[in-house]
Amino acid sequence: MAKKAKKVKKHSSARKKAVKQIRKLFKNEEQKKPAASIEFCDKCASIMVPVKKGSNTYLKCRRCGAEKKKEVKALKITEAQKKTKGVTILEKDTTPLPMVEMKCEKCNNTHAYFWLQQTRSADEPPTQFFRCTKCKYTWREYK
């Protein structure tokens, strides 16, 4: 049990050192810009959040519940989005297919695209599809 207590103390002291460094950085930033800052709890070094009770606003620690009375400015974070009209298409959604010399039944063209697709069970061979390059007629061939 004594070892665990020492570990907790080490972590909390390291955490407090880190919080001091962060506070120092924020103080330097506050001197440059008059903006809202983050407050840390003095007991557990956790971030304090603003809580509004009636007309008063104060800071409260989420971890240990400690409270600080400090004037808090209300901040609202917004994100601006550009409105776009319609959808811009950069390319057609086409997949390049290999070409083979095959006679089309409709227009007698001699070139067609082809692809293989498993249309039946896995133990049977795939179906070969052809599409004419000229009239776009599609037919299939079983093996």
Q: Which residue among the candidates 79, 91, 101, 123 is catalytic per the annotation?
A: 123
Q: Which residue among the candidates 29, 42, 67, 124 is catalytic per the annotation?
A: 124
Active site includes 124? Answer: yes
Residue 120: both structure tokens together: 């039946």
Active site includes 42? Answer: no
Where in the sequence numbering do the catalytic residues fall?
Answer: 123-124
